[in-house]
Structure 1
């Protein structure tokens, strides 16, 4: 029986500066309890229990681009983790795209932040009291 709660196998994003991207995610993802899981030439996977978030150079050798309307949302275990994620991201070269705070348009207990990584990918950390139920 599969105990994996995710509906996705993994998510991959491209980078045009592999070392810079890895330094960024090495600094940011531990704030949410994530670690490096796998490494291949030009690609590194992060996760808590399995490799579910990959960062790498595009396989086809073309420049990596950012998807308009696309973002990756990470689960934060607490509001404090949302702040730690945000602060680590800015310190590691990310850009603010929505400071930590409530998002009543999403739902009342939703609390999150948005950041652009050094390649321009939009990433989010979010906590919801609904996670505790």
Structure 2
């Protein structure tokens, strides 16, 4: 739906390391990078990207949601994000209030952003 999302972070190196490790299970990697004030572009397919840059401005917290192909990727994201310094904000599991197959996990990243990964597939298909 979008081409890229770019937002400021207070500690560029910490945020870059967090997102690379947390989203590694989804195949996310660095596409391009400049000075911290310009930032880094992360993508899994080269079409849609997440961009981070260092700033001291205090933006409102974001909710970022990434799509996983499997429920195992959701669990791997959650574990990797916690290992990268994230704070648990919802363990991997079904969220039937959204729909019957909404399987997601949530963590709070270095700048307080709510990072989610969701798999919409039935357990038998993931």
The TM tier, using the shorter chain, reads 0.7 to 0.9
Aligned Cα root-mean-square deviation (Å): 1.5
CA distance in 2, matches of 1:23, 1:66: 21
Shift of 1:14: 1.5
Shift of 1:100: 0.6
Instruction: Give the equivalent residue in structure 1 for 2:18.
Output: 24
TM-score, length of structure 1 as denominator length: 0.83
TM-score, length of structure 2 as denominator length: 0.88
Q: Partner of 1:81: helix, strand, or coil?
A: helix
> Which residues in structure 2 correspond to 1:19-58 (within 5 Å)?
19-42=13-36, 43-50=39-46, 52-58=49-55
Please state if 1:76 is matched with 2:72.
no
CA contact (8 A) 2:66 2:117 kept: yes
Q: Partner of 2:91: helix, strand, or coil?
A: coil
Which one has a larger percent strand, Structure 1 or Structure 2? 2
> Can you give the 5+ residue segments of structure 1 that lack an aligned partner in the other structure?
1-6
Spell out, residue by residue over 1:38-59, the C-alpha distance to the aligned partner (whole angstroms, 9 max, x if none): 101111111122251011113x
CA contact (8 A) 2:20 2:28 kept: no
Shift of 1:65: 2.8
> Can you give the 5+ residue segments of structure 2 that lack an aligned partner in the other structure?
none
Show structure 1 runs of 4+ deviating over 6 A.
Answer: none
